[in-house]
Amino acid sequence: MLEGLPMGAMIVDVLPAAVGVATSPVLLIAVVLVLLSERARPASIAFAAGSVGTIATITGAAAVLGGAADPDASSPMFMYWVKLLGGAVLVVFGIRRWRGRHESTEQPAWMASLAHTTPAKALLAGIVVTAANPKHLVFFVAAGVGIGAAGLGAARESLGVAVFVLLAGSSMLLLVFGCLIAPAWAAPRLVAVRTWLEHHTAALIAVILIVLGVILVGQGLGGLVSR
């Protein structure tokens, strides 16, 4: 039974999902490209706002759904099935990505367009890049349902969502704030990060998805077996 789960334990429970989002190569490459764009300062702030707002909205909605289940019966079971099935999907995505890691790595047109983006377009890009990726959605839903099913109460549930959002967006926010504070120091390092990610994105995505997918499957199976 997860009702009344301590706040710290709940955060540990959703940490794999937060790490999955924070290490998402797609998000990292996108924010790096925006930071190297012609209007880097306003565009990067807009991109981060769109991305973080999307994470918060989807995770919050999933938390509401998780909390709406019957706390005396189906809530924990529902959460475990979400983790099990979501983790299995991630593992499948990861294996497929690993097998195709040597395929063409030509940069998509939408990524190339970020070099000349405006703040308004960067805001939209942050929303779309975050929400349109099915792997991201698995992480958001798994975390949100876990928070909602923990029986923390409205205030602590909101705090749990906020903590997840900060953890999930931490790498992106650190890049943005770091470049705003020290742009001259950051510029050459951003180029190096972009180059590395462009050459290793497929393998990195595959490893992250498989590892975190296995963790989520383990959490789901562990919960179902203990019922």
Between 6 and 87, residue with greater pLDDT = 87
Q: How confident is the model at residue 69 (pLDDT cuts 50, 70, 90)?
A: low
Instruction: Give me the pLDDT at residue 2, please.
Output: 45
35-39, 54-58, 202-206, range with greatest mean pLDDT: 54-58
At residue 168, does pLDDT exceed 80?
yes
Q: How confident is the model at residue 1 (pLDDT cuts 50, 70, 90)?
A: very low
Instruction: Give me the pLDDT at residue 137, please.
Output: 92
What mean pLDDT do residues 70-97 have?
Answer: 76
3-class SS shares of the chain: helix, strand, coil, % to 5: 85, 0, 15
At residue 73, does pLDDT exceed 50?
no
> Which residues are within 8 A (CB) of 181 and not within 5 positions of it... i.e. 6 or more apart?
none
At residue 74, does pLDDT exceed 50?
no
Q: Which of 108, 51, 100 is nearest to 202 (CA)?
A: 100
Q: What mean pLDDT is reported for the chain? A: 84
At residue 152, does pLDDT exceed 80?
no
Between 227 and 138, residue with greater pLDDT = 138
Determine which helix (DSSP H) or strand (DSSP E) holds 152, and give its type and residue range.
none
Encode burial over 22-57: b for 16+ CB neighbours within 10 A, e otherwise. bbbbbbbbbbbbbbbbeebeebbbbbbbbbbbbbbb
Question: What is the 8-class DSSP label of residue 114?
Answer: G
At residue 163, does pLDDT exceed 90?
yes
pTM score, two decimals? Answer: 0.80
What mean pLDDT do residues 117-121 have?
Answer: 93
How far CA 133 is from CA of 2, 21, 53, 54, 118, in Å, comes to 29, 11, 15, 12, 22
CB 161 within 8 A of CB 168: no
